[in-house]
Amino acid sequence: MKDAEAMKTTVREKYAEIALQSRETNAGSCCGVGTPGTYTIMSESYSHMAGYNPDADLSLGCGLPTEFAFIKPGHTVIDLGSGAGNDCFVARAATGPEGKVIGIDFTPEMIRRARLNAEKLGFNNVEFREGDIENMPVSNDSADVIVSNCVLNLVPDKQKVFAGIYRALRPGGHFSISDVVLSGTLPAGLLQSAELYAGCVSGAIQQEEYLALIREAGFEDIKVQKQKPILIPDHILEEHLTAADIQQFLVSGTGIFSITVYAQKPGGEPKVKRKVQLAELSAKEPCCDPGSGCC
């Protein structure tokens, strides 16, 4: 695989193209990358959520982190990899006009599209900042909630991102992040593909490693709120692997998953009410502890 800066350049170029594509084109591919129909669609429908704006939905995600983020009126929310602004506008519906939402993205074309959407909606408390989420342009202890949807798998230094999330959250603040993770090892042919990296697959790491990075950053109350499998069709495997490699991959037990993870920064006021909400959520939809296999 290329070095970190080369991969960032690849991702920035791919997502600059995506920013100019229609939602329908993006919905037919993995995170908008590749020929329409390339992968099983990973994104989930936001249409039932308050604040949803179709113009801001490029179908680039792999979950619904804002639905699981317990955003309250008056909260300050940061969205990492904000794209055209979809999660920011949903978050704004929860924070209300007294709250604040900051979207961060390192693709100028995405920032321009998101700002145009915010202007059309007349929101003066939703801001979009151009920046690398490995060095996010926000102050220490400035956010109540951080969300992100299918972005951290694209970042070479995930440990640095989680350290930055910890820095940016106020004591007692929390995050809800949807991302792609692995169980088992992808074949070399998939790992070496820049297209698959930008498409959120070959940049994914092991689920256990992903959760360990969160623990090492200092977070507590870590929960996998939702998990679902991602399947790569045979005709895509054939583009990157030999017939023998495909057969070995199919019997290897390797799994590719979308997970939504919650974690809290220590400190602040007791989160009794939020824990009650988590209990209510588990009654509606199974929550998975790492390795439980319940999903």
pTM for this entry: 0.79
Whether 294 is covered by a domain: the verdict is no
For residues 130 and 109, what is the distance between their CA atoms, to the nearest angstrom? 10
pLDDT at 30 over 50: no
pLDDT at 86 over 90: yes
Whether 28 is covered by a domain: the verdict is yes
Whether 123 is covered by a domain: the verdict is yes
Question: Which of the residue ranges 36-45, 70-79, 209-218 would you say has the lowest mean pLDDT?
Answer: 36-45
C-alpha dist (Å) from residue 211 to 45, 132, 167, 216: 26, 22, 18, 9
Question: Which of the residue ranges 23-37, 49-63, 251-265 would you say has the lowest mean pLDDT?
Answer: 23-37
Whether 251 is covered by a domain: the verdict is yes
The DSSP bridge partners found for residue 263 are 175
Q: Give pLDDT, residue 67.
A: 96
C-alpha dist (Å) from residue 236 to 55, 75, 190, 240, 258: 29, 42, 10, 7, 19
Q: Give pLDDT, residue 246.
A: 79
Domain holding 221, by residue range, is 4-275
C-alpha dist (Å) from residue 238 to 181, 232, 246, 247: 22, 10, 7, 11
Four-residue CA torsion sign, 55, 58, 64, 65 = negative
Residues 226-261: tens digit of each pLDDT: 999 887 777 777 777 788 877 877 777 788 888 999
Four-residue CA torsion sign, 237, 155, 60, 115 = negative
Whether 292 is covered by a domain: the verdict is no
Arithmetic mean of pLDDT, 22-50? 58
Tokens of 10: 């690849």
CATH of the domain at 168: 3.40.50.150
Question: Which of the residue ranges 167-171, 195-199, 235-239 would you say has the lowest mean pLDDT?
Answer: 195-199
End-to-end CA distance of the chain: 31
Q: Give pLDDT, residue 25.
A: 53
Whether 288 is covered by a domain: the verdict is no
Whether 10 is covered by a domain: the verdict is yes
Whether 40 is covered by a domain: the verdict is yes
pLDDT at 18 over 70: no
The total of structural domains in the chain comes to 1
Q: In the chain, which residue ranges form alpha helices assigned H by DSSP?
A: 4-19, 23-27, 86-95, 108-121, 158-168, 188-191, 194-198, 207-216, 234-240, 243-251, 272-284
Arithmetic mean of pLDDT, 84-96? 97
For residues 125 and 76, what is the distance between their CA atoms, to the nearest angstrom? 10
